Amino acid sequence: MKCLVTGGAGFIGSNLVKLLLREGRDIVVLDNLTTGYKQNVEKSPRVEFIEGDVRDAALVERLSADTEVIFHLAASVGNARSIEDPVLDSQINIIGTIHILEAARKNRVRKVVFSSSAGIFGQLKTLPISEDHSVEPDSPYGASKLGAEKLCLAYSKLYDLDTVALRYFNVYGINQRYDAYGNVIPIFAHRMLHGEPIIIFDDGEQTRDFVNVQDVALANYKASIAEGVSGPFNVASGTAVTINRLVDMMKEVCDIDPVIEYALPRKGDVRDSQADIAAAKAAFGYEPAVELEDGLAQYMDWARKEAG
């Protein structure tokens, strides 16, 4: 099976590429290296790296030729970034996705596995969140991911193309480098390892559903080989932890006791989050295997080495 992985030099994409290699796949990685890193790309004769952008329709169409599955992970990620530059957010997340879908249609690709986000839900009305929860995103990022997801699902109805939208919750793990716009875990890790105070927005009792990147990569792969499966699916751990408890766990695994400061809540952040993952389990056998304590220990060890 030949695969195209957009965003394959990034955090989640690079972990997916490793898994695909272990499964014996041939892979083309497309990444513009805005947030990805070339050193993340596996060195293998079965991996071809192309530096380019999903907004380049001709390039995407060329790379999709003779491809069975496209894993579309390339994106402008994060609420704060999208609020600062909503036009760029939509150009990458919506226009880039339509280029992927058109290339898949023209080249008769069997399946597109799209990386969506729990950001599409907005403020939550019920917990845990199932796929049929109302979608009222609170940021341009959530709106653009929802728009791209709807495009994917429309293509699966109109054309001979299976599309799966994986709605990621809070993904963390190896190759997730510090980014002030990014996930809370690498931000906290960076501050802890550099002796800086940890800043918690709100009271720290808000909850998140953290899922390890190894489980996310496996969800992508299992979705890609599931025959006749299309639609949206939550990808998470199915459990919730408070931010205060997360900090305590990180302190325990790395034996660092940072100063903690509290700040006002941020626009676009939801209060609580926990996913119902039963649909993904039923459709393609998704079952998260990495416990948060184990994943944090692994990540903090990697982050410490990265920090030198």
**Predicted local distance difference test score (pLDDT) of residue 294:** 98
* 44/58 Cα distance (integer angstroms): 26
Neighbours of 107 (CB within 10 A): 17
Identify the active-site residue in 37, 141, 155, 181.
Answer: 141
- Whether 27 maps to a domain, the answer reads yes
* Owner of token pair 């280029």: 99
- Whether 304 maps to a domain, the answer reads no
Angle value at C-alpha 166, between 14 and 46, nearest 5 degrees = 30
- Whether 241 maps to a domain, the answer reads no
- Whether 254 maps to a domain, the answer reads no
User: Each residue's pLDDT tens digit in the chain (308 positions)?
Assistant: 799 999 999 999 999 999 999 999 999 999 999 999 999 999 999 999 999 999 999 999 999 999 999 999 999 988 888 999 999 999 999 999 999 999 999 999 999 999 999 999 988 889 999 999 999 998 999 999 999 999 999 999 999 999 999 999 999 999 999 875 568 999 999 999 999 999 999 999 999 999 999 999 999 999 999 999 999 999 999 999 999 999 999 999 999 999 999 999 987 788 999 999 999 999 999 999 999 999 999 999 999 999 87
Please check whether residue 116 is in contact with residue 165, taking contact to mean a CB–CB distance below 8 angstroms.
yes
- Whether 116 maps to a domain, the answer reads yes
CATH number, residue 6: 3.40.50.720
Phi-psi region of 173 (alpha: psi -120 to 50; beta: other; left: phi over 0): left
Cβ-count burial of 293 within 10 angstroms (0-12 exposed, 13-18 middle, 19+ buried)?
exposed
* 25/294 Cα distance (integer angstroms): 28
Q: Strand pairing partners for 171? A: 211
The number of distinct structural domains making up the chain is: 1
Question: Is 141 annotated as catalytic?
Answer: yes
* 206/263 Cα distance (integer angstroms): 13
- Whether 127 maps to a domain, the answer reads yes
What φ, ψ does residue 189 adopt, rounded to 5°? -60, -45
**Predicted local distance difference test score (pLDDT) of residue 102:** 98
* Residue 19, domain extent: 2-170+213-236+274-289
- Whether 128 maps to a domain, the answer reads yes
- Whether 143 maps to a domain, the answer reads yes
**Predicted local distance difference test score (pLDDT) of residue 180:** 58
* Owner of token pair 């907004």: 55
